[in-house]
């Protein structure tokens, strides 16, 4: 083992972890402890499996039904989803200006084209905000017409719902007097690029088409398939092909199970016959996402397979397939006996393996808990793992302890708060793209630090800076800010990234108020004790920046760049010209930050307009007044203070300044 590895394995206290001299592998332990037991269990399972496999290979009805149900689900979605895609496409085309809704002729042509592109759709229309309704509907298999109709009776209520709707959505079935049938409708709000509400796109699908493809499934798969809207109303069934119903006035406007004339479908909700075993008992409750029911129709027992289908209205639909009980009884009995035999063997195996398994699992559990505790990046709270006599566990503990030592050092060199935010967002280094975002940037700088450090030793200088940076970081992170970097005696921090923070300007001003309070307090204490006292300048500016991973392939920083960063630095430098020689801290903020932080409770005084080096034009500058106040008053003329001083924030509890 190299000296480097030995040093990394040594905990913070300096003593290396003691490793056991005798260790055996998990494979050896399992072979000696479980060998005979596994041999008996596997042999028994193989015998049972062989005796049933010859019969099971010819009886794959369950898999066949599941595949049929999957196919039914895919077919239903393939029948309906194009309606939503077409509605969303039309909305996007109108928003891009490709379709002019004020030109009814061109609008009708576009609606008719959308109808032709999706044979599943029965009608597509646009209802404008001023109640002009243009409709394209099918008049035959290969023909359609475009008409202008009076608005529907509930158009006012429909417009109110569409104004509040963010995206396209399905609504429950509606009855059409003109077509004499029920429709399933997609309604999509249409807004201009500026956000103005223009109207709604309505796309309708007839239920006759759904019943049509279910008839094909019924004949090809040998099962009875239908779709239920609720416990009694039917959306689609082969028996509905070619039939019409007058459903006006019904709610919902759908035929009932009794209207079908199909005793198999009508018997789905019968009471269980006494003494019968339901398919769910033999199959363990649910098979994939299918539910089971059973009923007797005449002298034939039926099994019903049910699957919920969501996304097409306020409530879920139910896809149903019915097949005779005799087709599944034989397979269920085989599975039951196979399962009972396997369970008996497993129970014996588990009982005999607990003694040895507890020893192994206890150490693995300790490794798992220690690894899980790393998620919060609080490496100093994670304990070192003890050694084990099992070779693999011993090597895992040694590797974990080595990693933990390295992470404790790594924690001292990276912004842990930033890493935690990126982890909680689910980002990784390759997924973070540079983007423009509005943020608030803060720069701080110690006034006259070079002169101050001349009379101090290197150790004293480092200690002073560590204490100072710890204080500033605590104030910044208490308001959700990110400390970007330390530049000599300066600090750069920002709010508004990586997390979206609508109040990033207010957070920055509150953090500045806390820094002002703590600097003045530490200044008074240092003067009273005769120690070197720090005077600080702070500059704050809000605006757009480029934020993301910036650097090389071997080392990157999650940071921000842009004119907003430069402006914050210039405001901090401007404090040298405006500062009171006796002031311990001066905080300057741009009008952009002050305006964005309305009602943040931080008193600011307008000190006038100034030119910042490297920028054209004048920038209105505000200075932090002493104290913190209640709700902000309106902005006044130059020299006016916003708000009244009130309670000052307490300095945060500071963590340790050096890593252990």
With beta carbons less than 8 A apart as the criterion, state whether 77 and 235 touch: no
Q: Which of residues 53 and 365 earns the better pLDDT score?
A: 365
Interval 194-217: pLDDT, tens? 888 999 999 988 777 677 767 766
pLDDT exceeds 90 at position 440:
yes
Q: Which of residues 388 and 41 earns the better pLDDT score?
A: 388
Which of 90-104, 359-373, 561-575 has the lowest average pLDDT? 359-373
| pLDDT classification of 655: cutoffs 50, 70, 90 | very low
Instruction: State the pTM of this model.
Output: 0.43
* pLDDT for the residue numbered 659: 35
Please enumerate in sequence order all residues whose Cβ is within 8 A of that of 52, keeping only pairs 6 or more positions apart, or say none.
334, 337, 338
* pLDDT for the residue numbered 334: 65
- Which residue shows structure tokens 């049509």? 212
Read off the pLDDT of each residue in 301-325 and give the average, rounded to a whole number.
85
| pLDDT classification of 20: cutoffs 50, 70, 90 | low
Which of 90-104, 206-220, 422-436 has the lowest average pLDDT? 422-436
| pLDDT classification of 354: cutoffs 50, 70, 90 | low
pLDDT exceeds 90 at position 245:
no
Interval 557-579: pLDDT, tens? 778 898 999 999 999 999 888 76
* pLDDT for the residue numbered 39: 61
Classify residue 355 by burial, with Cβ atoms within 10 Å: 0-12, 13-18, 19+. exposed
Share the mean pLDDT of the chain: 76
Read off the pLDDT of each residue in 381-396 and give the average, rounded to a whole number.
78
Percent of the chain with pLDDT over 70: 69
Which of 182-196, 371-385, 543-557 has the lowest average pLDDT? 371-385
3-state helix, strand, coil in the chain (%, to 5): 45, 25, 35
* pLDDT for the residue numbered 534: 87
Interval 29-78: pLDDT, tens? 555 666 566 666 666 766 666 566 555 654 566 677 677 788 888 888 88
Q: Which of residues 386 and 4 earns the better pLDDT score?
A: 386
| pLDDT classification of 11: cutoffs 50, 70, 90 | very low
Please enumerate in sequence order all residues whose Cβ is within 8 A of that of 21, keeping only pairs 6 or more positions apart, or say none.
none
Crossing angle between the packed helical segments 391-410 and 26-56, to the nearest 10 degrees: 110
Interval 474-489: pLDDT, tens? 999 899 898 888 888 8
Interval 614-635: pLDDT, tens? 778 889 999 988 643 333 333 3
Q: Which of residues 197 and 336 earns the better pLDDT score?
A: 197
* pLDDT for the residue numbered 488: 87
Q: What domains appear along the chain, each with residue ranges and CATH number? A: 54-270+284-330 (3.30.450.20), 426-624 (3.30.70.1230)
Which of 125-129, 211-215, 375-379, 384-388 has the lowest average pLDDT? 375-379
Q: Which of residues 514 and 428 earns the better pLDDT score?
A: 514
Interval 391-410: pLDDT, tens? 877 887 788 778 777 766 66
* pLDDT for the residue numbered 643: 47
Which residue intervals of 57-180 are DSSP H helices?
A: 61-95, 104-117, 155-164
Cα–Cα distance between 227 and 306 in angstroms, integer?
9
Cα–Cα distance between 247 and 631 in angstroms, integer?
60
B/e letters for 195-211, b = 16+ CB within 10 Å, e = fewer, are eeebbbbbbbbbbbbbb
Cα–Cα distance between 523 and 531 in angstroms, integer?
9
Classify residue 571 by burial, with Cβ atoms within 10 Å: 0-12, 13-18, 19+. buried
pLDDT exceeds 90 at position 512:
yes
How many residues in total does the chain contain?
660
With beta carbons less than 8 A apart as the criterion, state whether 504 and 493 touch: no
pLDDT exceeds 60 at position 1:
no
């Amino acid at each position: 083992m190299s000296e480097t590895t030995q040093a990394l394995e040594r905990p913070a206290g300096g003593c290396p972890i003691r490793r056991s001299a005798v260790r055996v592998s998990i494979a050896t332990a399992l072979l000696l402890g479980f060998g005979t037991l596994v041999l008996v269990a596997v042999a028994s399972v193989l015998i049972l499996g062989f005796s049933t496999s010859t019969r099971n290979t010819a009886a794959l009805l369950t898999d066949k039904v599941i595949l049929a149900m999957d196919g039914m689900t895919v077919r239903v979605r393939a029948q309906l989803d194009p309606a939503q895609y077409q509605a969303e496409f039309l909305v996007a085309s109108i928003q891009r200006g490709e379709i002019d809704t004020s030109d009814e002729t061109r609008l009708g042509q576009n609606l008719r084209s959308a109808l032709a592109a999706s044979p599943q759709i029965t009608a597509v229309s646009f209802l404008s905000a001023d109640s002009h309704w243009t409709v394209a509907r099918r008049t035959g298999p290969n023909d359609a017409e475009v008409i202008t109709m009076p608005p529907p009776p509930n158009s006012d209520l429909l417009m109110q719902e569409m104004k509040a709707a963010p995206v396209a959505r399905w609504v429950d079935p509606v009855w059409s007097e003109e077509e004499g049938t029920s429709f399933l409708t997609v309604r999509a709000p249409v807004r201009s690029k500026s956000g103005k509400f223009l109207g709604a796109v309505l796309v309708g699908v007839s239920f006759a088409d759904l019943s049509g493809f279910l008839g094909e499934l019924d004949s090809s798969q040998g099962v009875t398939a239908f779709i239920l809207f609720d416990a009694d109303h039917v959306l689609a069934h082969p028996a509905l092909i070619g039939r019409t119903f007058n459903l006006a006035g019904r709610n919902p406007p759908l035929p009932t199970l009794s209207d079908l004339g199909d005793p198999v479908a009508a018997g789905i909700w019968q009471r269980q016959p006494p003494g019968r075993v339901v398919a769910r008992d033999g199959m363990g409750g649910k098979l994939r996402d299918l539910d089971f029911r059973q009923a007797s129709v005449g002298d034939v027992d039926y099994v019903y397979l049910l699957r919920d289908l969501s996304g097409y209205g306020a409530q879920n639909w139910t896809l149903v397939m019915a097949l005779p009980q005799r087709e599944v009884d034989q397979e269920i009995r085989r599975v039951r006996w196979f399962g009972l035999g396997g369970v008996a063997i497993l129970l014996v195996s588990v009982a005999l393996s607990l003694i040895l398994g507890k020893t192994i699992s206890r150490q693995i559990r300790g490794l798992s808990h220690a690894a899980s505790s790393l998620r919060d990046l609080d490496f100093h709270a994670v304990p070192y793992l003890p050694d084990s006599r099992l070779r693999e566990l011993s090597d895992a503990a040694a590797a974990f302890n080595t990693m933990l030592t390295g992470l404790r050092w790594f924690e001292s060199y990276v912004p842990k708060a930033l890493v935690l935010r990126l982890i909680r967002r689910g980002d990784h280094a390759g997924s973070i793209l540079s983007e423009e975002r509005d943020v608030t940037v803060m720069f701080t700088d110690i006034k006259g630090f070079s002169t101050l450090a001349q009379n101090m030793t290197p150790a004293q200088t480092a200690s002073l800076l560590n204490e100072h940076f710890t204080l500033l970081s605590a104030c910044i992170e208490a308001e959700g800010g990110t400390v970007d970097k330390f530049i000599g005696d300066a600090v750069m921090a920002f709010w508004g990234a990586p997390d979206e923070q609508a109040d990033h300007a207010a957070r920055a001003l509150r953090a500045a108020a806390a820094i002002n309070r703590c600097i003045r307090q530490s200044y008074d204490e240092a003067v009273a004790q005769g120690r070197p006292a720090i005077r600080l300048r702070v500059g704050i500016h809000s605006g757009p920046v480029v934020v993301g991973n910036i650097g090389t392939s071997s080392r990157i920083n999650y940071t921000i760049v842009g004119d907003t960063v430069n402006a914050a630095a210039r405001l901090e430098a401007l404090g040298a010209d405006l500062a009171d020689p006796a002031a311990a801290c001066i905080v300057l903020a741009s009008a952009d930050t002050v305006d964005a932080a309305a009602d943040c409770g931080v008193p600011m005084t307008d000190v006038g307009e100034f030119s910042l080096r490297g920028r054209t034009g004048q920038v209105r500058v505000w200075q932090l007044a002493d104290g913190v106040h209640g709700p902000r008053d309106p902005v006044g003329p130059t020299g006016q203070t916003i708000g009244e001083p009130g309670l000052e924030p307490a300095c945060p509890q500071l963590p340790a300044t050096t890593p252990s």
